[in-house]
C-alpha cells in the first residue's frame, strides 16, 4: 500500500447523521454527529517531523512520508478521492460548567484508514482551518502547541499509556496571531498542523450534546455505533449492553488515571470534551509532568487559582466526568443503580490499581498492609523537600536491601535542601524501607529491573520540549527529531541526553512555556 492508495472506510461519517449544510460558517448544528468541511489550504506546507512507528502502522514508508503528496495531504491542501473530511459535533462540561455545543473547532478528520492488518485508524488534522464549531477562533494552530502535541502523543505511547497518536508535524508557511497569555498583546507566530491518529476521537461530549438537546434517537444511534465498532465483547446495544459499555468506559478511565499518576503526568484541562470514550489520553494542551512532587500543581494558567485539574485531583475528576457521561446515557437505561454500580467499581479499580502500581514503583512483590503509611510518609518528605518525582523513583532502584543508602544523592534531587529535622526523617524512612525490602524474597537485581520497568528514565518535561520549540522557530529541526527518537526508549538510558534528565534548571523555572502553559493555541 502507498500513500495514494490508502483505503478509507469512513465508518463514522457513513453510519451517523450529517449536518445538511456543508458551509464552514460558525453556527449551532442540531440533530447531527458531524459537519462535512474541507481543510483550508496553506501557502507553503512542509513536513518537519514524522513518527516512523506510526507511519509503519499505517503501511506508509519513508518514501511516502517524504513525498510531495504527503506535504500537501497532511497540511490539508489536497485530499484523496475516498476521503470524507468532517468536523465532529459535541458538547462538554468545562471547568465544571456545561458549555453547550463545542465541537472540532480547529480539527478536521480526513477519514478512517483500514490497514492491511485490518486495523482502523482515523486521521485528523489539527489546525486545518475554520469549521462550524470554531466559535470566535480561526481554526489554526501555532508551532509551539503543535510541537508539544506531536511530541507528547508519541511520548505517552512509548511510556505504555493509552493515547491518541501523531503521524507528522507540518509548518504551513503562514503566520497565526495569538495572545499567549491573554495579556492584550497578540503577536504573529509560525503556523503549524499536527496530523493526529486514533482508533476513534469520540469523547464523552459526543454523547452529552445529544442528551442535553433531548435528541434521544441520535444518542441511541451513536451509542450503538460505538458499541458495535469499539466494544466488540458487548453483544447488544440494548439496556444491558449500554450498562456494560459504561462499565468498560469506567474501567478504561480508571486505568488511565492511575497510569497518569504513576509517571507524574498532569493533563491540565480534563473537561468532558477532552475525555476519550476509549480511555485514551486526548487533546494535549496545557499539560506537564510534575517535577518536584506537588499534588496541587497544575500546568494550566487558566486553572492556577482553582486548581481543579491539579495532579492529585485527576482520579476524582475522572469520576466527576464519568458521572456526567452517566447522566448522558441515563435516557437509554432509565435506572440509576446500574450506573452507580459502575461508578463504584471505578473507585475500587483506581484504589486497587494505584496500590499495585506503587508496589512496583517501590520494588515490592505485592502491596501489603502497612505500605500505605510508608508511601504517605514518603510523599510528605518529597513534598517538604521539593524532591524531583521522576529522578527520585528512578534512583530508588539503586537502594540496597541492606547497607548504606546514598542519602546525599537523594538530597541532591531536592529543590529545598532538607533541614536537619527532615534529614532525620529521610534516614528513618529509608531504614523502614530497607526493612520492608528484606521482608520479601526479591534479590536486588530482580527488584531493580521491576522498578525500572515502571519508573521512566526520561519524561517530556516542558522545558525540554521548549528547547525543541526554540530551535524549530529558528528553522533548526534537529533537536525536535532527536527528541522524537529519545521518546521511543523512555525506560532506558540513552547516551547524549543526560542534560535533559536532570532537575529543572533555574532558567526554566519561570520562563513562559517551561512550566505552566495557557489554553491558547
Residue numbers annotated as active site: 273
Cβ atoms 147, 468 nearer than 8 A:
yes
Q: How many CA atoms lie within 13 A of 200 on its CB side?
A: 20
**Phi, psi angle pair for 266, to nearest 5°:** -125, 120
Q: 130, 138 in Cβ contact below 8 A? A: yes
- Residue 106 CA to residue 505 CA, distance in Å, equals 34
Binning the chain into helix, strand and coil, the percentages to the nearest 5 are: 45, 15, 40
- C-alpha–C-alpha distance, residues 10 and 114, integer Å: 9
Phi then psi for residue 472, to 5 deg, are -65, -35
CB 34 within 8 A of CB 108: no
Q: How far apart, in whole angstroms, are the C-alpha atoms of residue 344 and residue 389?
A: 30
118: how many CB neighbours lie within 10 A of its CB? 6
CB 48 within 8 A of CB 121: no
Question: 85-112 as b/e, with b when 16 or more CB fall inside 10 Å?
Answer: bbbbbbbbbbeeeeeebbbbbbbbbbbb
State the CB neighbour count (10 A cutoff) for residue 303: 21
Cα(331)–Cα(11) distance, integer angstroms:
25
Cα dihedral 400, 401, 402, 405 sign: positive
* Cα distances (angstroms) measured from residue 227 to each of 16, 238, 279: 13, 10, 14
Instruction: Tell me how far apart the alpha carbons of residues 65 and 228 are, in angstroms, rounded to a whole number.
Output: 33
* Of the candidates 110, 105, 109, the residue with the CA atom closest to the CA atom of residue 138: 105
* C-alpha pair distances (Å), 291 with each of 153, 158, 182, 414, 438: 19, 20, 26, 10, 30
Picking from 326, 91, 89, 319, the residue whose alpha carbon sits closest to that of residue 208 is: 91
Q: For residues 458 and 501, is the Cβ–Cβ distance under 8 A?
A: yes
Cβ(67)–Cβ(61) under 8 Å? no
Beta pairing, strands 265-266 & 187-198: unpaired
Cα gap 217→232, rounded to integer Å:
22
Amino acid at each position: 500500500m502507498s500513500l495514494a492508495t490508502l483505503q478509507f472506510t469512513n465508518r463514522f461519517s457513513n453510519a451517523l447523521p450529517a449536518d445538511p449544510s456543508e458551509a464552514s460558517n460558525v453556527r449551532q448544528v442540531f440533530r447531527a454527529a458531524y459537519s462535512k468541511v474541507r481543510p483550508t489550504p496553506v501557502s507553503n506546507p512542509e513536513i518537519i517531523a514524522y513518527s516512523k512507528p506510526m507511519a509503519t502502522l499505517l503501511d506508509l514508508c519513508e518514501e511516502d512520508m517524504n513525498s510531495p503528496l504527503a506535504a500537501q495531504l497532511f497540511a490539508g491542501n489536497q485530499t484523496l478521492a475516498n476521503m470524507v473530511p468532517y468536523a465532529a459535533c459535541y458538547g462538554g462540561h468545562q471547568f465544571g460548567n456545561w458549555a453547550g455545543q463545542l465541537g472540532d473547532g480547529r480539527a478536521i478528520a480526513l477519514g478512517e484508514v483500514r490497514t492491511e492488518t485490518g486495523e482502523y485508524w482515523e486521521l485528523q488534522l489539527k489546525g486545518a482551518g475554520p469549521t462550524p464549531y470554531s466559535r470566535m477562533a480561526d481554526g489554526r494552530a501555532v508551532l509551539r502547541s503543535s510541537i508539544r502535541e506531536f511530541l507528547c502523543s508519541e511520548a505517552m505511547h512509548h511510556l505504555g499509556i493509552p493515547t491518541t497518536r501523531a503521524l507528522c508535524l507540518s509548518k504551513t508557511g503562514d503566520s497565526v496571531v495569538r495572545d499567549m497569555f491573554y495579556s492584550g498583546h497578540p503577536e504573529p507566530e509560525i503556523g503549524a498542523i499536527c496530523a493526529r491518529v486514533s482508533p476513534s476521537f469520540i469523547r464523552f461530549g459526543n454523547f452529552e450534546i445529544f442528551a442535553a438537546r433531548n435528541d434521544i434517537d441520535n444518542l441511541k444511534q451513536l451509542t450503538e455505533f460505538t458499541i458495535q465498532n469499539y466494544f466488540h465483547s458487548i453483544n447488544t446495544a440494548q439496556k444491558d449492553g449500554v450498562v456494560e459499555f459504561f462499565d468498560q468506559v469506567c474501567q478504561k478511565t480508571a486505568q488511565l488515571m492511575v497510569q497518569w499518576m504513576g509517571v507524574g503526568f498532569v493533563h491540565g484541562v480534563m473537561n468532558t470534551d477532552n475525555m476519550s470514550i476509549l480511555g485514551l489520553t486526548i487533546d494535549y494542551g496545557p499539560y506537564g509532568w510534575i517535577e518536584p512532587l506537588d499534588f496541587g500543581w497544575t500546568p494550566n494558567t487558566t486553572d492556577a487559582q482553582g486548581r481543579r485539574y491539579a495532579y492529585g485531583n485527576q482520579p476524582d475528576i475522572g469520576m466527576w466526568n464519568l458521572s456526567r457521561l452517566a447522566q448522558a446515557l441515563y435516557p437509554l437505561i432509565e435506572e440509576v443503580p446500574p450506573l452507580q454500580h459502575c461508578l463504584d467499581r471505578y473507585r475500587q479499580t483506581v484504589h486497587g490499581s494505584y496500590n499495585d502500581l506503587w508496589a512496583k514503583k517501590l520494588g515490592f512483590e505485592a502491596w501489603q498492609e502497612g505500605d500505605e503509611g510508608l508511601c504517605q510518609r514518603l510523599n510528605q518528605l518529597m513534598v517538604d523537600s521539593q524532591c524531583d518525582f521522576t529522578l527520585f523513583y528512578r534512583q530508588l532502584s539503586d537502594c540496597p536491601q541492606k547497607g548504606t543508602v546514598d542519602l546525599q544523592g537523594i538530597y541532591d534531587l531536592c529543590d529545598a535542601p532538607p533541614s536537619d529535622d527532615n534529614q532525620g526523617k529521610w534516614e528513618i524512612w529509608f531504614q523502614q524501607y530497607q526493612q520492608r525490602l528484606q521482608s520479601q524474597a526479591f534479590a536486588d537485581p530482580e527488584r531493580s529491573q521491576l522498578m525500572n520497568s515502571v519508573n521512566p528514565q526520561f519524561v517530556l518535561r516542558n522545558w525540554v520540549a521548549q528547547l525543541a520549540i526554540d530551535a524549530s522557530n529558528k528553522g533548526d529541526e534537529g533537536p525536535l527529531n532527536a527528541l522524537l527518537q529519545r521518546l521511543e526508549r523512555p525506560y532506558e538510558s540513552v547516551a547524549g541526553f543526560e542534560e535533559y534528565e536532570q532537575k529543572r534548571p533555574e532558567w526554566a523555572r519561570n520562563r513562559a512555556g517551561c512550566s505552566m502553559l495557557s489554553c491558547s493555541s
